[in-house]
Amino acid sequence: MEFLQGTLEVLILRSLQAGANHAYGIGQFLEQQSGNEFVVDNGSLYPALQRLLQREWVTAQWKVSPKARRARYYRLTPLGRKQLIEEQSKWQRFVEAMSRVLTPEG
């Protein structure tokens, strides 16, 4: 399933809520959490990460992973955390509205 326009960014923010992660980890997280419904295309993931960096919603830092590999870890900034909360409630309302419309009356 493809991502809806603009959803990837909020999903990335959500994936970082538990803690810092690298791009591969974010991809894995999203696929697993969606029950493998979402397929994360790196061609979309990487530009989306750059946009989040530019908006200063996340920061990036090179670190060594628990398995002793160097990886670039993304972490939510306070600004990003605030944004995530706003986006979450927005999407919540959107999903509820969608399902109310789509669910057959009766």
Partner 1 sequence: MRQWWSKLRAWMTGRTEIDNDLAEEVRSHVELETANLMERGMSPEAARAAAGRHFGNTTAVAEHARDAWSFAAIESLLKDVRYGFRAMRRSPAFSLVVILTFALGVGVNAAIFSVVNTVLLKPLPYPDSERLVVLSEANAKSDFSVTWGNFNYWRAGNHSFDDMAAFQFFGGTLTGRGDPVTTQGMAVTAPYYALFGLRPLMGRLLGAQDDRVGAPATIVLTHQFWTSRLGGDPHIVGSTLLLNGNPYEVAGVTAPLWMPWFRVDYYVSLGRISAKWTSRQQHASIRGLARLKTGVTLAAARADLDAIMRRLDEVDPGTEKDHHSHGEFLTEHTVGGLRSTMQVLMGAAVLILLIACANVASLLLARNTARASELALRKAIGAGQLRLIRQLLTENVAIAVAGGLVGVLFAFCALRLLVGIAPTTIPRLAETHVDLQVLAFASAITLAAGLLAGLAPVLAAGRIDLSTALKEGARLAGSGKGRQSMRSLLVVAEVAITLVLAFGSALLLRSLAAAQNSDPGFDSGRLLTFSLDLPGKEYSSPEAVRQFYGSLTDSLRHLPGVTAVGAVHCPPPMGDCGDWFYSVPGRPDPPRDQVPLALFNWADPGYFQMMGIPIRQGREFSNTDRPDGRKVVVINESVAHRWWPNESAIGHQLKFGGPYQKGDLLEIVGVVADVRQFGLDEKPEVEVYQPWAAANEMDGSVAILIRTAGEPSQSMPAVRASVAALDRNLPLQRFGTMDAALGSGLARRRFTTLLLALFAGLAMLLAAVGIYGLLNYWVTSREPEIAVRLALGASPGRILRWTSFHALRLAMVGVAIGAVGGWFAVRLLSDLVFGIPAHSPATLAAAAGAVLAIAFLAAAVPSWRAARVNAAHRLHQG
Binding footprint of partner 1 on the chain (CB under 8 A): 22-25, 41-43, 46-47, 49-51, 53-56, 60, 65, 67, 69-72
CB of 21 to partner 1, least distance (A): 11
Cβ-based nearer residue to partner 1, 17 or 50: 50
- Tokens found for residue 26: 């974010």
CA distance to 1, 54, 68, 95, 100, per residue, from 92 (Å) = 20, 26, 38, 5, 12
- Tokens found for residue 33: 């959490």
Cβ-based nearer residue to partner 1, 67 or 100: 67
Cβ-based nearer residue to partner 1, 18 or 102: 18
